[in-house]
Structure 1
Amino acid sequence: MELDDLDWKILALLQEDGRMTFTELAKRVSLSAPATTERVRRLEAAGVITGYSATVDPQRVGLPIESIVRVRVRSLDTPRFRTNVLVLPQILGADHVTGDDCWLLRVVCRSMVELEQLVEEAQRYGDTTTSLVFSSHVRNRPVDISIFVGIVSR
């Protein structure tokens, strides 16, 4: 899908505030509300906008232990790993990557015991390395429209 400057501006604004009304969005991009609504619907239909969500702080809801678990899954165990480990509710993110470790899991847990149990489950399918997260300095960063040539700045 070819995106124009108005599409990029809409994307930037919705990344800043996904709850912005179509009326407010239309004002900010200097279009009518119906025209803005149509553009957003087109971006959704094309799969450019994949959803809207609230960001929850895991610590504030009782999940103080955060870690990155790297897993080197044996190739024959990959289907079972996907079926039995990736579905665990403690896993907030799972990236299949190149390199020695083939999976990077972002995990949150209520306790070290719970983390230990999760790691033991993952170890059924390969070797693991677990790193505790002290702090996160970049998380859920929106796509920056300024990296695209010819895009009108915000």
Structure 2
Amino acid sequence: MGEPEFVYTTCINTTPERLWQGLTNPAITRHCWRGLTFDSDWRPGSTVTVRYPEHNVTIADPARVVLESDPCRRLSYTWHTFTPEWAAVSGFSEELLARFSAERRSKVAFDIEDLGETVQLTVTHDDFAPGSAVLQAVTNGWPRLLADLKTFLEEP
């Protein structure tokens, strides 16, 4: 049995280019990712800074980096840096913040496949230890976030 992971696949009536923008463009992520934006040039090795503009919160960590970047095909980066500011913005308790912070950093990958009239997006979030509280949280969070992204990208 392999390491625990979260995998989710959906089809979106959009283009690979528009989906890439939905994953990387701050104006779109702010709308679809519940106020969150990313600051990165999206090149392998570059850092990914998380911002919550409405709360004046910036989370910069040199360990949160782009692992792979093939525009409109694949994007992968190391996951969250858990801070008290992040917990406050996200509505997580100090106890859950401590549990999350004790875990190793996970990674997320977005695979984009052009199917013609639709685009298939597969999100793989992995590198969790067995019994991971973060895995449980992303398992609940990703479907909602991806539904919001799909809705936004499919609006006329």
TM-score by length of structure 2 reads 0.30
Structure holding more helix per residue: 1
Bigger CA radius of gyration: 1
TM-score by length of structure 1 reads 0.30
